[in-house]
Each structure stands twice: as structure tokens, then as C-alpha cells.
Amino acid sequence: MASAGVGRLAPFRPLAPAGRRVGRVLGIWGKMMHTRLCGAVAGLLLAAMPGAAFAQECAPMSRHFAFCDDGTDWAEAEWEQSGDGATIVLGDLRLEFTEDWVGRDDAQDSGAAIDALLDEMTADATHEEIARDRFTAGDLTVVRVIQTIAVDNDPPVLRAMMIAGAEAGRILLSLDAPAGLPVEEIDRRSREVAGLVRLAEGG
């Protein structure tokens, strides 16, 4: 993924206990050899363990959330710097996200929060609500509204607005697509995007 101002962090993987035990047995080879063999044996042990795998690589989105897109076409998307945040662009799809949207009120539940946000955003726009639902994506509960919206003389877009939340916080996700995209596709794509959002470690 090309990232503008947003880096990827490879998580530190501590040595497996079995590897440490083998390393101590080999102490007679000296400190340098001990370190090398310890790492090698630990690697072999991890590879032999059923289901052993390294954590998925993720890009930080905000204080509490990360975007984990390995194995999807979103891994090839461009990240465009946008103020203090970024927009992820994949072909005709644009994903904007923030934890700090204007008018955020943590006293509101997600349903009331998205209604307040939409009222503000569509005050001077032509819009039509197509669908509204709530679903679970990993550890997050997502409230979603799909609508068409046109501002001023700009071409209309098909937009899936989502607030994804967990105990650590909430993040606003706005996925825009051309108005001619089938609703079934924006439904699929927005569910996919929500499923790639994870709580950041220590967030």
C-alpha cells in the first residue's frame, strides 16, 4: 500500500518459551552462538506449530483503530493525506475516516450520532436514504446508512456512512462510490471495509 504520512508497523514477536529453553541448553557455544541458535530453533518451532502465523500487518488510522487489509485489493489502494487524516482511494471508491468528527457527542448512542451527523451533512444537499442497518464486524458494532447525495453542482455519489464502535471508542467511516454502482456492491464493499477495521493494540 502506498501511504502518505501513514506508516505500517511490524509487531514485535517475542521468542517462544520452547525456543528459550533450547537456547539455554546450547549455552556452551557462547553468547553469540546462543543468540543465533535460539532464534533459529524458535523459528522452526513456530513454523511446526499448527496454525502458527505472524500477526497481520496493519496501518494506523487513528488513536484507537487500524486498517488491516492484507490479502485484499485494499492493500493496493493509495492513501492521500487529508488535513490531519487520510483518505484511502481504490479506483472509484474513496474511504474517509476520523474519530474526531464535528459535533461528536459520546453521550449519544451510535444510531443517534449518525442521525445528527447526517442532518448536518445533508442540510444543503440533495439526498435520498436507501438503506439503514446495524451489523457486527469483528469486535465492532457498526451502524450504517446508505444514501445518494449531491452537493451543489457536483455529480451525485452513492455513500455508505458508518459509525463503528467498541469499548475503546468509535470511528466514522464514509465510503463513496459513483452513483451508478449497484446498491448490492456498495453494501458488500462497505461491509468489507468495516471488517478490515481493528482496534489498535494499546488503543
Instruction: Say whether both 66 and 29 belong to one domain.
Output: no
SS percent in the chain: helix, strand, coil, step 5: 30, 35, 35
Q: What pTM value is reported for the model?
A: 0.70
Same domain flag for 48 and 70: no
Average pLDDT over residues 105-121: 84
Pick the closest to residue 67 from 87, 82, 51 (CA basis). Answer: 87
36 and 68 part of one domain: no
Q: Point out which residues pair with 151 in neighbouring strands.
A: 125
Residues 165 and 107 in one domain: yes
131-187 residue pLDDT tens: 999 999 999 999 999 999 998 888 899 999 999 998 778 999 999 999 999 999 999
How many domains does the chain divide into?
A: 2
pLDDT of residue 164: 95
Residues 24 and 103 in one domain: no
Residues 62-101 pLDDT 10s: 889 999 999 999 999 999 987 666 899 999 999 999 998 8
Q: Which residue has the higher pLDDT, 20 or 195?
A: 195
Claim to verify: residue 32 and residue 93 sit in the same structural domain: no
Domain boundary among 55, 78, 93: 55
- Are residues 111 and 191 both part of a single domain? yes
Same-domain pairing of 51 and 64: no
Residues 72 and 149 in one domain: yes
- Please say which residue of 55, 79, 101 terminates a domain: 55
Percentage of the chain exceeding pLDDT 70: 70
The CA-CA-CA angle for residues 180, 95, 5, to 5°, reads 145
In terms of Cβ atoms closer than 10 Å to its own Cβ (0-12, 13-18, 19+), residue 3 is middle
Integer angstrom CA distances of residue 32 from 18, 54, 102:
19, 26, 56
Q: Which domain holds residue 43?
A: 1-55
115 plus 146 within the same structural domain: yes
CATH code of 75's domain: 3.40.1000.10
Distance CA 192, CA 176 (A): 14
d(CA 102, CA 120): 9
**69 and 51, same structural domain?**
no
Q: Among residues 14, 40, 55, which one ends one of the domains?
A: 55
Dihedral angle computed from the Cα positions of residues 191, 193, 195 and 199, in that order, rounded to the nearest 10 degrees: -140
Q: pLDDT, tens digit, for every residue of 2-16?
A: 434 333 333 333 334
Question: Does 178 lie in the same domain as 90?
Answer: yes
What is the identity of the amino acid at 90?
A: L
